[in-house]
Structure 1
Amino acid sequence: MGLVCFKEGPQVVLGADPIEQRDEEEENENEEVISEFPQQDENGKKISLSQFIMLRNLGKGSYGKVMLVQHIVSLKLYAMKVLIKKSVKTQTQKKHVQTERKVLEITNHNFITKLYYAFQTQTKLYLIMEFVSGGELFYHLKLKGRMTEKKMKFYAAEILIGLDYLHKQNIIYRDLKPENILLDSEGHIKLCDFGLSKICSWGDMYAKSICGTFEYIAPEIIVGEMYTKCCDWWTYGALLYDMLTGKPPFYQLTKKQILEYATGKDIEIPNYLSEEAIDLLKKLLNRNPDERLGGQRDAQEIYEHPFFKDVDFQKIERKEIEPPFEMQNERPFKFFDQNLIRKSSVNDTPVNELGRFQEFSNFTYNGDQLSSEYNQLLITH
């Protein structure tokens, strides 16, 4: 699947997986952590790489890799995302990294991956996040094929709530796809990978960068128009189409063919779906963002669609509805790339030179410390 993100001028085309590992020569990795202000854990100790034991490889990409790690004191398991600075070659790519870090900091929701710590060395950036053990929704779709409408409705409801939350934080996601939806140990979703997101400021709710994955990208983005968070509802519709049919609307099409669909050709929706599902997909996959479902009142319009008439969204948000995928009795790491999981080496990959962008200002983050400070404010005020 082709992931793209570029602005006017020369195109910058990124790989489909935003964290693909590069081959690097070895060097001593005993580097001093760079930070603009003190970074401490709940025991007052500065957070650093030495406090984590690396257990398993979980994923890889163009900037680095993801590993399962364990904190040596608390014994808690985390997913550690390692980004190699030298692989972050352009200012645009650097902005993607900083955006993901910022989105993870400002969000706090059941259906969004949680960031606990962030720190950096001279050559790498480290994000310590919650470990989501159920793997990617992409893996489950690939394993089991298309979903029944009943199963799809559950996950569609959780994803809808997650997107609604992001929009209320003035965040345009721009890269919703099965690879960016994780399932936790119970089978609930977690949205992840926010590098292509845009954090909007009041008075600036528009975007113009061509960002996303071609198989799911909204027409207004493809043709280079200014667009709003309504682009996420097209992508949401493309995702639901994928879940119900087994492939996204633009699957294996050329860029020219995708442009034809974006400017005039209608997407065919299978007639084996229910009337409510067909109507939902047609309204979400409307090329005109003003007429698209969600174009006027955002997520509220979708909550009210007849397809979701029997869904209790409050119970869904509180995770009181049991997921349709049974995860409890599955063997550990079943839903991850087994070639990566079985790799004997789980050491942090050394690099042989300093990154081009050595300083990522305000990258350091300590969720435990901020939570403690917030609770003190509640007590003292």
Structure 2
Amino acid sequence: MHFFSSCFTLINIRRIVTRFYASEVVVALEYLHMMGIVYRDLKPENVLVRSDGHIMLTDFDLSLRCDDSTSTPAQVIPAQNHTPAPPQSEYAMDPPKFGATSCILPNCIVPSVSCFNPMRRRKKKALAGRHVGPSFVAEPIDVRSMSFVGTHEYLAPEIVSGEGHGSAVDWWTLGIFLFELFYGVTPFRGMDHEVTLANIMARALEFPKEPVVPASAKDLITLLLAKDPCRRLGSTMGASAIKHHQFFGGVNWALLRCTTPPFVPPIFTRDVLSDESCPDTPVEYY
């Protein structure tokens, strides 16, 4: 009993820690998208832990800045009844309702399903009474780039294929980032770059048996690593759709930066040898 209790505690701690860092990455990407910037280089090496334990992104050399003609302005989608974390099939069945001013890619529009579909009727009945407030959407989904940029293990399929990509690549890299946080490896890594790229295009996503990862985390990773960018979670509703996933249940997004981080780097000081160009003052290291 003690063994299983310890395992459960470790799993829960891993989930809480990963959820915290993933939450801050989501907010950071949302802010960049609001500014019309597609980051395109999310990976652990570019996520720095500050002295207060919160994270910040660095290295914007590969970022894509959208101009006013291709960027979608931030908007608020009216409140609607929906589940915090619908599975992929439900996303395809019931796409989000956009207003007249909304801007989505034509090839991402999914045909509506007949209102006589029994699955849809059951879904709406199950959602009755579950009200969610308006969603803030800031996603430059109109921007397109043909550039082949990024780290091989984190490249989205649309970059590898050379068909052009938009801001959905950031949500793909978020899925790879989450996978690596949980398992310590990336899901499509091969013996060399060519094999890695081939795996990204053709190999199905598989989860290792160890360590044990919560089902909600696997579901989120699966939705983010949809090879078709039009079906990828976040491709139309941006960070708002990701925030509502059950993996992030309990996260106070409004006060996220006020949340106590799971790890705060210890500060230690070291006396610096003084000379004419370096004053004798202690320096803080993290």
Instruction: Indicate yes or no: 2:122 matched with 1:182.
Output: no
For 2:146, give the aligned amino acid. Answer: K
Instruction: Write the distance in 2 (CA, Å) between the matches of 1:168 and 1:242.
Output: 26
**Residue by residue, what CA displacement relative to the aligned partner does 1:6-50 show, whole Å, maximum 9, x if unpaired?**
xxxxxxxxxxxxxxxxxxxxxxxxxxxxxxxxxxxxxxxxxxxxx
Instruction: Write the distance in 2 (CA, Å) between the matches of 1:242 and 1:188.
Output: 19
TM-score, structure 2 as length reference: 0.62
1:133-282 superposed matches below 5 A: 148-204=14-70, 205-271=143-209, 272-282=212-222
Q: Which has the larger share of strand?
A: 1
User: Does the 8 A contact of 2:51 with 2:264 survive in 1?
Assistant: no
RMSD of aligned C-alpha atoms?
2.4
Task: Tell me what 1:309 maps to.
Answer: 249
1:252–1:258 distance in 2 versus 1, CA, 3 Å: closer
For 1:151, give the aligned amino acid. Answer: V
Runs of 4+ in 1 over 6 A off after TM superposition: none
For 1:321, give the aligned amino acid. Answer: T
User: Does the 8 A contact of 2:28 with 2:57 survive in 1?
Assistant: yes
1:326–1:219 distance in 2 versus 1, CA, 3 Å: same
CA-CA distance at 1:332 after TM superposition = 5.0
User: Does the 8 A contact of 1:174 with 1:196 survive in 2?
Assistant: yes
Q: Which has the larger share of helix?
A: 2
Task: Tell me what 1:325 maps to.
Answer: 263
**Residue by residue, what CA displacement relative to the aligned partner does 1:329-379 show, whole Å, maximum 9, x if unpaired?**
34259xxxxxxxxxxxx99xxxxxxxxxxxxxxxxxxxxxxxxxxxxxxxx
CA-CA distance at 1:251 after TM superposition = 3.5
1:332–1:217 distance in 2 versus 1, CA, 3 Å: farther
User: Does the 8 A contact of 1:181 with 1:190 survive in 2?
Assistant: yes
CA-CA distance at 1:201 after TM superposition = 1.1
For 1:157, give the aligned amino acid. Answer: S
Instruction: Write the distance in 2 (CA, Å) between the matches of 1:179 and 1:263.
Output: 24
Task: Tell me what 2:122 maps to.
Answer: none
* Secondary structure in 2 matching 1:210: coil
Instruction: Write the distance in 2 (CA, Å) between the matches of 1:202 and 1:266.
Output: 37
Instruction: Write the distance in 2 (CA, Å) between the matches of 1:304 and 1:156.
Output: 13
For 2:23, give the aligned amino acid. Answer: A
Instruction: Write the distance in 1 (CA, Å) between the matches of 2:178 and 2:55.
Output: 14
Instruction: Write the distance in 2 (CA, Å) between the matches of 1:326 and 1:182.
Output: 12
CA-CA distance at 1:261 after TM superposition = 2.3
**Residue by residue, what CA displacement relative to the aligned partner does 1:104-127 show, whole Å, maximum 9, x if unpaired?**
xxxxxxxxxxxxxxxxxxxxxxxx
CA-CA distance at 1:252 after TM superposition = 4.9
User: Does the 8 A contact of 1:219 with 1:263 survive in 2?
Assistant: yes
* Secondary structure in 1 matching 2:150: strand
User: Does the 8 A contact of 2:226 with 2:232 survive in 1?
Assistant: yes
TM-score, structure 1 as length reference: 0.47
1:43-58 superposed matches below 5 A: none
Task: Tell me what 2:136 maps to.
Answer: none
Instruction: Write the distance in 2 (CA, Å) between the matches of 1:244 and 1:332.
Output: 33
1:262–1:247 distance in 2 versus 1, CA, 3 Å: closer
Identity value in percent: 37
1:332–1:246 distance in 2 versus 1, CA, 3 Å: farther
The number of residue pairs the alignment matches comes to: 189
**Residue by residue, what CA displacement relative to the aligned partner does 1:82-133 show, whole Å, maximum 9, x if unpaired?**
xxxxxxxxxxxxxxxxxxxxxxxxxxxxxxxxxxxxxxxxxxxxxxxxxxxx
* Secondary structure in 2 matching 1:257: helix
1:332–1:192 distance in 2 versus 1, CA, 3 Å: farther
In structure 2, the gaps of 5 or more residues are 1-12, 71-142, 271-276, 279-286
1:169–1:247 distance in 2 versus 1, CA, 3 Å: same
For 1:215, give the aligned amino acid. Answer: E
Instruction: Write the distance in 2 (CA, Å) between the matches of 1:295 and 1:332.
Output: 46
Instruction: Write the distance in 1 (CA, Å) between the matches of 2:269 and 2:182.
Output: 28
